[in-house]
Structure 1
Amino acid sequence: MLAFLRDRLFGRHPGLTVIAAVALLFLLYQAVTAFVAYTWDAFVLSNVVAVSPEVEGRIATIAVNRNQTVRAGDLLAEIDPRPFRIAVEKATAAVELAQANALDADDEVQVARDRLQGASARQADTRLQQQRIAAIVGSGSVSQQDLDNADRNLDVANAAVASAGAAVAAAVRTVSVRQAAVKVAQAELALAQWNLSRTRLVAPVDGAVSPFLIRAGDYIKVGDPLLAIVTNTGWRVVANMKEQYVATIRPGQTVYVRLASDPWTIHTGTVRSVARGVERPETQFGVLPSVSVDPDWVRLQRRFPVEISLGDLPQRRRLFDGADASVLMFIDPTQSAAGEIRPQTREEAGGPSPASAAPGGTP
């Protein structure tokens, strides 16, 4: 029968043979891709920590080499500490001066209180003398002028007591001001000491120093990137999968990974997470959906990042951040969602909660 079809049908119509072969290959491709997902649009990724100075100055020394392995706390570079040491000495002197002024203010309070005590004693004597003169002014032993003088002296004594009391209050307020000045000076000293400590840039994590361009003698400002450290944690593969597969990829699913840095070995991994969205060029944060007109005849599928854990592979093999990789996984067409996804609560969706939406705050 097959020989008959070959001789009678395909032998007389070679074009039909080509069409049938193409159709067969297409059907075979569709059958394979329905159960197998493969992409070479994947790469190795690690946690990269950028190191930037918290103070500005001129780089005095670079203590590491490119691609050197470091541990957390190792010295990477040092900014010239001399201006910061001078600032610490100046702040220390300011603290000592503020403390001396505070002690002087304490002494002034004591002096003012002694003056108040003396004025109060003179006031008591003057009041007693005025009372005695007032008691005998009618007997003819003292004159009215003597009583007037006694009244005037008592008024002067009262005013002296009031002035001495005000001086005590002012001295107490001066103490508070001087004590606040001490705290300000101490804070400035702490800041100067902190700035001095930040002239030493140390590795925040274990890892390898990436290639850098900074050199000793360069002037660097706060926040300028100095170098980066490729950490020893967080190694993963990010595979950009076609959108026809993302709905059926499940977290925890086994995948097969080929690394460009280790091309003759197939490694196994597990799906860590599947991205729920990607940015589109026409995305605008408006209230109405935007539908753009695409004049292209060929529409390529969108790709969604899928993160893949590598298990203990980072402990067994040297990995390189940014290296290419290929990923293959088997698809279960019966799956319709990437893992279990719980529905959003009203608070997560950005809407009011039932309690806040109901009158009086009750559901």
Structure 2
Amino acid sequence: MEDHWTVGRVAELAGVSVRTLHHYDEIGLVRPSARTAAGYRAYSAGDVERLREVLAYRRLGFGLREVAELVGDPSTDAVAHLRRLRGLLLERRDRADAMVAAIDGELEARAEGLLVTPEEQLEMLGARLYDAIGGAYPATRRTEPRIAARIWDALGDARTVLNVGAGTGSYEPADRDVTAVEPSAVMRGQRPAGSARCVAAAAESLPFEDQSFDVAMAVSTVHHWGDPIVGLREMRRVARRVVVLTFDTDEPGWQDRFWLTRDYLPEFATVLAEFPSLAGMADAIGARAEPVAIPWDCADGLFEAYWRRPGAYLEDHVRRAMSVWTRVGPEAEQRAVRSLSDDLGSGRWAERNSDLADLDAADLGLRLLIA
């Protein structure tokens, strides 16, 4: 086997231009570390492996900044990358297969003159929402240590913890006995090896006896539940304490707290139109509410995470891990992205939001309910 490969040969094998490889070299993404006999820079086997990972993530729609974070993670080796890529590709394939099957079914029904109900039309976008957005979670939805510290402090001395709407396992404390509940197969399939056991169930019908746990927690998931109040009361039933990270829509003009919803995505208000009030949720479980500020460099790619990094919202894979964009629909999403891109290019965004430049954290409506 060759000891090294020239830039031209690697470009030919990878199906990219030499210019692309030079760009990756210039920005430090993939730098050829070997030398030919003539002294020219060339790619070692390790360089080729890294390039393979970079190109694979790029072809899945990840931006260069996010790719750099993924391939630069010292805790992830080649095998872990392959497993992650395989999972993302399988999820994309399964989602495409499901949508094709749904389209075929509707075409057949319409050809026979049958009525297709709105519920049937929206099934794969509504009930299967997390299945649709779940594939993007590994890259952008990581535990944010400063938010985690607030949540874990609220858990107190609890030893047994139920994590409701657990997703891929972010914010699950490693020093407690955790049981996870997650209805989405896609999300359950992406939980890391060695993570807490996960039960397929919904928040509104938890399959546990009364007072089975010291504490039940739920992190950025209540707005996805069919009946948040019922789910919260179920958490109260099965646990002696409840800790919930959610969103406050009680404050007058709450839509204007965040420039993205104020200036580019007014449809966000419609998404939460039927969401219970913070006071109503607190009353349902006897909780107090505490504000949780979002740091400017928040590691968890939740909807408000990039309030001081607006360019991130132009990245498709960043948006794919946020349910808001799926709910508002492609037309609103494309309009918002196009308008934001124009304002970033012209400098209008910076003019409107100059007050954010020196902030380390912002209160954008995240609240911790503690009961």
Report the TM range for the smaller structure's normalisation.
under 0.3
The answer to which structure has the higher helix fraction is: 2
Select the structure with the greater relative contact order (CA < 8 A; seq sep ≥ 6).
1
Normalised by the size of structure 2, how large is the TM-score? Answer: 0.17
Structure (1 or 2) with the larger CA radius of gyration: 1
